[in-house]
Amino acid sequence: MRPIPLLKECLDYSHEDPEIHYYLGKCYEEMGNLTDAIWHLQLAVQFDPSHDASQLALIRVLDKNGQKNKSIETARLYFQYKKADLNISFTPAVCCFPNTWFPRLN
């Protein structure tokens, strides 16, 4: 896949850029390389916890990789972060796991 070498080259100049890690994670996910996808998505989240696309992609890829408990825990932490960040009360939407039941986070 051609974008991966280009994105890796971008990392040479901006290693802590969450966008680059997010797109690398997406490329690896599309290729079925979930281990590398998770690695880059975790880095994206680490460098910018407010990067929603990376957070949601990480939750999805963890679940896809059979790490359901880690995926649910990541979702729980993400929604707690968003709740504190937005200072509102909401229940996780079915955007990540349309067929999964979630207990309330409160």
Task: Give pLDDT tens digits along the chain (106 positions).
Answer: 589 999 999 999 999 999 999 999 999 999 999 999 999 999 999 999 889 999 999 999 999 999 999 999 999 989 888 777 665 544 454 445 555 544 444 4
What the block records as the tokens of 35 is: 């281990």
The pLDDT of residue 2 is 86
Q: What's the one-letter identity of residue 15?
A: H
Q: Give the DSSP letter of residue 90.
A: -
Global pTM reads 0.77
Long-range contacts of 71-77 (CB under 8 A, 24+ apart): 71/97, 72/100, 72/102, 75/102, 76/105
3 C-beta neighbours (distance < 10 Å), count: 12
Biggest CA–CA distance in the chain, Å, is 44
